[in-house]
Amino acid sequence: MLRSSIGVVTVVALLVGVVLRFVADSPLWLDEAQSVALADQAIGGLAEALRHDGHPPLFYVLLSAWSSVIGDTAFAVRALSGLLGLVALVLIGLVARRHADARTSTLVLGIMASSPFAVRYATEARMYALLIVLLLLGHLAVDAAVRRPDVRRLAAVAVVVALLLYTHYWSLFLVAVLLGGLLVLTVTRRWAVAPRLLLAVAVGALAFVPWIPVFWYQLAHTGTPWSPGPRPTVVAALALEAFGGGRGSEALLVAVVLSVLVVLGFGTRGERAELGLTDLTWLWAAVGVGFATMLLGAGASLVTQTAFQGRYAVFCFVPVVLAAGVGLSRLPRPAASLALVLLIGLSWISVARELSRDRTQVGVAAGVVADQGTDGDLVVFCPDQLAPAGHFLLGDRFRTIAYPVLDDGRSVDWVDYADRNRSADPAAAAEAIVAEAGGSARVWMIWIDGYRNYGRQCGSLHGELSARLGGSRHLVAANGEDFYNAANLNVFGNPPS
């Protein structure tokens, strides 16, 4: 790899990429803290806990096993995703080498190593790094089964399908695309191996049947009350934003460069890069399945008015990286080296901007409470979506309570969320909170208005508590510019000493 400029650039990208996959100073934000809370559940209680969350169980089982050995600090729980991020680098190299020459494979590896999307989800205690690994394993399993469709290789396809379904529900759209495409190829007899692959995918899908009762309950009662269904243009914009690494000019430029390279890879053919759709059958299959999954998922989100987040674009991330690598390989060697350096440089800047920006301001507020509070003080969170991150940081020293359910806030209960929150009563909650405080030296409130289905209830709760506890001091002001999840901090009762 070190014999060419492209090889040298890729090695540097790999070395830096390995380090970046374990660098994240931000406190755990809502989804990560929720993951830790769910992983703390005993295996026997996980299914019931997930009825109130809305996800399948595989990642939480793995995180539970991991944290029982490594620990449950923020770094420790994120390190599982970091390790999966390293596994993904190995797998993307294997996938590329199955289909392309050494130069193209090196380019693909350089893109993946520096990808802001891959780095972001290798530094987050969520299931998306696991999804990337499983999607790459699925690609390898299908390719192996196509080359020699024996029982062992077809079983590997079925196992990966089952693991995907138990990791993220958007995998249902992927499985639907695979089943539909393979069924057409089977009926039309255009591909001899299609019937066996169809059977393998179907067997993998059947493994999901025991989980259907939980899934059905989640479908009826949880959903995505924090966001409405998006238009297709919004889906495309959010996916590109995620691939670029978030908001900002550098992230936008990463998305632009990636898009140009994907068009170049998919819109040229042959070593001379002649105009025309690619003649690489494997790339057609990868891109076709990935983008069909996205189209089906986006359509379902729009029809059912369920949310789309840029991270769901993980289902077309691998095809994008592969197509971009092919696009780079179509350029003359000096131009390919310069383009790779440009993409890596922009990606590093985008990653640096994101890693320097805390994902939640709850950490700042919790730091003030920890410094100035007294053990046993009551910390109120409003809305409850701020509570898991706060409970993770403060739950060992302080009593915590989350509006509107008034539980300890270690996790959010998403069951019938919108209806429950719209009908909540800040005055009644304030009475209960004052009673819970029970003469505590101080009551702290970490809060912000504007969350969907809450309106200005948190401001009203603050007013109700002020009326009962004699006013408050404003210690931290919400800052939406520097934090994804902004928050205020007020303290009631005796002023801090």
Token pair listed for 250: 């550098």
Mean pLDDT across 6-29: 92
State mean pLDDT over 437-453.
87
225 pLDDT band, cuts 50/70/90, is: low
Contact 280, 268 (CB under 8 A): no
Per-residue pLDDT tens for 128-143? 999 999 999 999 999 9
pLDDT band at 497 (very low <50, low <70, confident <90, very high): very low
Q: Give me the pLDDT at residue 195, please.
A: 95
Domain 362-493 in CATH 3.30.1370? The answer is no
Q: What percent of the chain has pLDDT over 70?
A: 96
- The rounded mean pLDDT for the chain is 91
- Does the structure show a pLDDT above 90 at 493? no
| Residue 26 to residue 354: CA distance in whole angstroms | 10
| Residue showing tokens 């057609």 | 284
Task: Flag whether pLDDT at 2 surpasses 80.
Answer: no
Q: Which pLDDT belongs to residue 302?
A: 84
Question: Which residue from 129, 159, 164, 123 is spatially nearest to 141, judged by alpha carbons?
Answer: 159
Residue-level pLDDT at 357: 77
Contact 495, 457 (CB under 8 A): no
CB 464 within 8 A of CB 488: no
pLDDT tens for 43-60 read 778 999 999 998 999 999
pLDDT at 247: 78
Higher pLDDT, 9 or 480: 9
- Asked if the model's pLDDT at residue 340 lies above 80, the reply is yes
Which DSSP string corresponds to 370-403? HHH--TT-EEEEESGGGHHHHHHHHTTTSEEEET
Confidence check: pLDDT of 353 > 90: no
Residue with more model confidence, 228 or 232: 232
For 77-108, what is each residue's pLDDT tens digit? 999 999 999 999 999 999 999 999 999 999 99
- The candidate with the shortest Cα–Cα distance to 178, out of 318, 301, 292, 294, is 292
| For the chain, percent of residues with pLDDT exceeding 90 | 73
φ, ψ for residue 149, nearest 5 deg: -80, 60
Residue 211's pLDDT is 96
What ranges do the domains of the chain cover? 5-355, 362-493
Residue 160 has pLDDT above 90, yes or no: yes
Per-residue confidence (pLDDT) for residue 300, from 0 to 100: 87
- Distance, CA of 46 to CA of 56 (rounded, Å): 10
Q: How much is the pLDDT for 496?
A: 44
Average pLDDT over residues 159-168: 98
User: What pLDDT is attached to residue 333?
Assistant: 85
